[in-house]
Structure 1
Amino acid sequence: MNDATPIIVTPPAMKSQDFSFLREEGMQFLRSVAAESWTDHNLHDPGITLLEAFCYAITEMGLRSGMDMRDLIASDISGHQQELYTAAEILPVSPIALRDFRKVLIDHPLVQNAWLFPLSTEPRGRLSILLEFAENDLNSNTFSIIVHPLPLGQDYNIDLAFPYWDDADAGPFAEDVTFTGVTFDMSSGNEWNQIEGSDAYFARINVSYQPAVGPPGVRLLWVVAQVTTPMDNPLTDLPFILPELSARVTSIIDNSPTDLALVHRFNNRVRDANNAMRVVRRYLKDYRNLCEDFFDYKAVRLQEVAVSAIIDVNPGVLLEDLLADIFFAIDRFIAPVNHLSSLSDLLSTHAPDAIFEGPSMDTGFLQDGALSTTTLPDVLYTSDILRLILQQRDQRGTDIVQREDVSARNITAVRNLSLANYLDNRPITSNARDCLHLVESQRHIPRLSLTKSRITFFRSGAEATYDLQRVIELVQGRKAAELLEETTMFEDIPLPAGEQFATADYYPIQNDLPLVYGVGEAGLPETATAERKALALQLKGYLFFFEQLTAGLAGQLSNINAFFSADPDLEQTLFPQPLYHLPEIQKLIRHFNLQSGNWENFQQDADNGYVTALAQSAESREQFLARRNRLLNHLLAVFGEDMYDTAALAYHKASIVPDSMGMPLDVLLARQAEQRNAASRQMIRRKSAFLHDLPALNRDRAQAYGNLLWRTDRLLQIQATPAGFTWAITDAGGTALLRGVTPEVSVMACRRLAAEVSSLATIAGNYDTIPAGPDLRLIIKRTPADTQAIAESIATFASPALAATRRDNTILVITGLWVSFALTPLEERLYHMLGIAIKERRTVVHATADYFEVFDQPPNPPIRKRFRMWERPLFTGAELLTGQVDYTAATDPLAIAAAQAGMQTVISRGTDISNYEITNPAANIFRVLLLASDGTVLARAPLDYATQELAKEALQRILQHIFRLFSMQGFYLIEHLLLFPVTTGGTALNMTETPDAYSFQISFVFPSGYGRDFSVPASPRVPVQPEGWRDPEFRKLAEQQVRKACPAHIMPRILWVDSALPGTPVAAADASFTNFEIQYRAWLSAYLADEPQEPVIAPLRDQLAQVLVNIYTALES
Structure 2
Amino acid sequence: MNAPEHIERNQPDPDGLDFDALRKSGLAMLQALAGENWTDYNLHDPGVTILEQLSYGLADLAYRSEFPAEDYLAGPFGQIDYARHALHPADEILPSQVLTAEDYRKLLYDSIPEIEDVWVTREEQGEEQGKERGEGGSPIPGLYHLRLKLRDSVQDDLSGQQQDALEQRVIAQVSATYHAHRNLGEDLGRVSIIATRPVYLQGDIQIHSLRDSALIFADIFFRCALQLMSGLRIEHYREASEAGASLAEVFEGPLTLHGRVIDVDGRAGPGAQISLAKLIALVQGVDGVTHVQRLSLCDQAGRPVSLDDGDATVLRLRFPEQAQSHLLRLHFASAAVGHDAAAMAGPTGQQRLLQQEKDQAMLAEAREALRKVRFEFDTLRNTQQSREAIVPAPTGVLRALDDYYSIQHQFPAIYGINRFGVPASAPLQRKVSARQLKAYLFLAEQLMANYLADLQAIPALFSLDDLERTYSSQVLDDQALPGIEALYVAAPAQIGDMLAQIVARADHPDHRRNRLLDVLLAMYGEEFSQKSLRRFNFYQDRHTAKWVLDNKLAFMRRIVGLSRDRATAVDVTRAHQRADGSLNIAGVQAKICILLDLPLHGPGAALSDALLAYRLRLATDQKISTDHYAGIARHLLHLARREHGPWQPDPSPGPGEPTWHAMPGGAPLPQSLLTQGVRLDNYILEQHGQQIHVHFQTRDARLGIVRLASYAALEEADEHVQQLRNFICRLNIASEGVHLVEHLLLRARRPDGMTAQGEPKGPGREGGAGDFHAHRISVVFPAWTARFADLEFRQLAQETVCRNLPAHLFPEFLWLDFVAMRDFEQRQRLWRDRLRAHVPGQDSAALDQASASVVNFLLRHRAAARSADRAPAPYWV
Which of 822, 827, 842 is matched with 1:1074 structurally? 822
- Aligned partner of 2:773 in structure 1 is 998
Asked if the contact 2:271–2:313 (Cα under 8 Å) also holds between the matched residues in 1, the reply is: no
Change (3 A) 1:853 1:561: same
- Aligned partner of 2:736 in structure 1 is 969
Asked if the contact 2:470–2:507 (Cα under 8 Å) also holds between the matched residues in 1, the reply is: no
User: SS state of the match for residue 340, structure 2?
Assistant: strand
Asked if the contact 2:53–2:410 (Cα under 8 Å) also holds between the matched residues in 1, the reply is: yes
Asked if the contact 1:118–1:125 (Cα under 8 Å) also holds between the matched residues in 2, the reply is: yes
2:223 is equivalent to residue 329 of structure 1:
yes
Q: Distance in 2 between matches of 1:317 and 1:509?
A: 78
User: SS state of the match for residue 314, structure 2?
Assistant: strand
Change (3 A) 1:357 1:314: closer
2:812 is equivalent to residue 1058 of structure 1:
no
Which of 552, 565, 570 is matched with 2:450 structurally? 552
Which of 631, 634, 647 is matched with 1:866 structurally? 634
Q: Aligned-pair distance for 1:886?
A: 8.6
Asked if the contact 1:511–1:521 (Cα under 8 Å) also holds between the matched residues in 2, the reply is: yes
- Aligned partner of 1:843 in structure 2 is 606
Q: Distance in 2 between matches of 1:266 and 1:305?
A: 21
Q: Aligned-pair distance for 1:1075?
A: 0.9
Change (3 A) 1:398 1:309: closer
- Aligned partner of 2:237 in structure 1 is 343
Which of 356, 373, 376 is matched with 2:267 structurally? 373
- The RMSD of aligned alpha carbons is 4.5
Q: Aligned-pair distance for 1:55?
A: 0.8
User: SS state of the match for residue 124, structure 1?
Assistant: coil
Q: Aligned-pair distance for 1:123?
A: 1.1
1:304-344 deviation per Cα after TM superposition (whole angstroms, max 9, x unaligned):
11234467888999664443333233323333453322222
Query: Counterpart amino acid of 1:1079?
Result: R
User: SS state of the match for residue 468, structure 2?
Assistant: coil
Q: Aligned-pair distance for 1:1113?
A: 2.1
Q: Distance in 1 between matches of 2:318 and 2:238?
A: 36
Query: Counterpart amino acid of 1:6?
Result: I
Q: Aligned-pair distance for 1:1006?
A: 0.9
Asked if the contact 2:97–2:254 (Cα under 8 Å) also holds between the matched residues in 1, the reply is: yes
Query: Counterpart amino acid of 1:587?
Result: A
Alignment of 1:31-50 (within 5 A): 31-50=31-50
- Aligned partner of 2:834 in structure 1 is 1086
Change (3 A) 1:377 1:1099: closer
TM-score, reference length from structure 2: 0.77
Query: Counterpart amino acid of 1:1102?
Result: A
- Aligned partner of 2:501 in structure 1 is 616
Asked if the contact 1:866–1:883 (Cα under 8 Å) also holds between the matched residues in 2, the reply is: no
1:614-651 deviation per Cα after TM superposition (whole angstroms, max 9, x unaligned):
2232234872221111222222222333223x23331x
Q: Distance in 2 between matches of 1:542 and 1:277?
A: 81
Q: Distance in 1 between matches of 2:631 and 2:71?
A: 72
Asked if the contact 1:884–1:937 (Cα under 8 Å) also holds between the matched residues in 2, the reply is: no
Alignment of 1:27-66 (within 5 A): 27-66=27-66
- Aligned partner of 1:1109 in structure 2 is 859
Which of 306, 331, 335 is matched with 1:437 structurally? 306
2:776 is equivalent to residue 892 of structure 1:
no
Q: Distance in 1 between matches of 2:695 and 2:238?
A: 62
Asked if the contact 1:336–1:372 (Cα under 8 Å) also holds between the matched residues in 2, the reply is: no
- Aligned partner of 1:1049 in structure 2 is 808
2:288 is equivalent to residue 450 of structure 1:
no
Which of 369, 379, 385 is matched with 1:489 structurally? 385
Q: Aligned-pair distance for 1:960?
A: 9.5
Q: Aligned-pair distance for 1:356?
A: 0.9
User: SS state of the match for residue 772, structure 2?
Assistant: coil
Would you say how many aligned residue pairs link Structure 1 and Structure 2? 764
Asked if the contact 1:122–1:999 (Cα under 8 Å) also holds between the matched residues in 2, the reply is: no
Alignment of 1:563-962 (within 5 A): 563-567=461-465, 569-580=466-477, 581-592=480-491, 608-620=493-505, 623-644=508-529, 646-650=530-534, 652-653=535-536, 678-706=543-571, 821-838=583-600, 840-841=602-603, 842-846=605-609, 848=611, 850-851=613-614, 866-867=634-635, 890-893=655-658
Q: Aligned-pair distance for 1:535?
A: 2.6
Which of 92, 96, 99 is matched with 2:99 structurally? 96
Query: Counterpart amino acid of 1:649?
Result: L
Change (3 A) 1:441 1:525: same
Query: Counterpart amino acid of 2:444?
Result: F
Query: Counterpart amino acid of 1:632?
Result: L
Query: Counterpart amino acid of 2:167?
Result: A
Change (3 A) 1:687 1:73: same
Q: Aligned-pair distance for 1:93?
A: 0.5
- Aligned partner of 1:295 in structure 2 is 189
Q: Distance in 2 between matches of 1:343 and 1:1089?
A: 39
Change (3 A) 1:5 1:126: farther
- Aligned partner of 2:253 in structure 1 is 358
Q: Aligned-pair distance for 1:82?
A: 3.9
1:461-516 deviation per Cα after TM superposition (whole angstroms, max 9, x unaligned):
64532225554443233222333355451413123222333322111122122222
Q: Distance in 1 between matches of 2:420 and 2:227?
A: 85
Q: Distance in 2 between matches of 1:915 and 1:1091?
A: 55
Q: Aligned-pair distance for 1:444?
A: 1.2
- Aligned partner of 2:129 in structure 1 is none
Deviates most, 878-887 or 36-45: 878-887
Q: Aligned-pair distance for 1:1005?
A: 0.8
- Aligned partner of 2:621 in structure 1 is none
Q: Distance in 2 between matches of 1:521 and 1:1050?
A: 74
- Aligned partner of 2:145 in structure 1 is 128
Give the share of equivalent positions with the same residue, in percent: 25
Query: Counterpart amino acid of 1:1087?
Result: L
Query: Counterpart amino acid of 1:700?
Result: D
Query: Counterpart amino acid of 1:118?
Result: R
Alignment of 1:70-81 (within 5 A): 70-74=70-74, 81=84
Q: Which runs of no fewer than 5 residues in structure 1 stay unpaired?
A: 144-261, 401-412, 593-601, 603-607, 659-673, 716-753, 759-817, 855-861, 917-929, 940-950, 1010-1025, 1061-1071
- Aligned partner of 1:203 in structure 2 is none
- Aligned partner of 2:763 in structure 1 is 989
Asked if the contact 1:302–1:445 (Cα under 8 Å) also holds between the matched residues in 2, the reply is: yes
Q: Distance in 1 between matches of 2:724 and 2:240?
A: 51
Asked if the contact 1:871–1:880 (Cα under 8 Å) also holds between the matched residues in 2, the reply is: no
Change (3 A) 1:267 1:900: closer
2:783 is equivalent to residue 979 of structure 1:
no
Q: Aligned-pair distance for 1:1103?
A: 1.5
Query: Counterpart amino acid of 1:297?
Result: V
Q: Distance in 2 between matches of 1:475 and 1:346?
A: 26
User: SS state of the match for residue 867, structure 1?
Assistant: helix
Q: Distance in 2 between matches of 1:610 and 1:980?
A: 72
Q: Distance in 2 between matches of 1:380 and 1:837?
A: 55
Change (3 A) 1:444 1:970: same
Q: Distance in 2 between matches of 1:913 and 1:89?
A: 45
Asked if the contact 1:107–1:361 (Cα under 8 Å) also holds between the matched residues in 2, the reply is: yes
Change (3 A) 1:327 1:317: same
User: SS state of the match for residue 245, structure 2?
Assistant: coil
Higher helix share: 2
- Aligned partner of 1:1038 in structure 2 is 797
TM-score, reference length from structure 1: 0.61
Higher relative contact order (CA 8 A, sep 6+): 2
Q: Distance in 2 between matches of 1:275 and 1:510?
A: 79
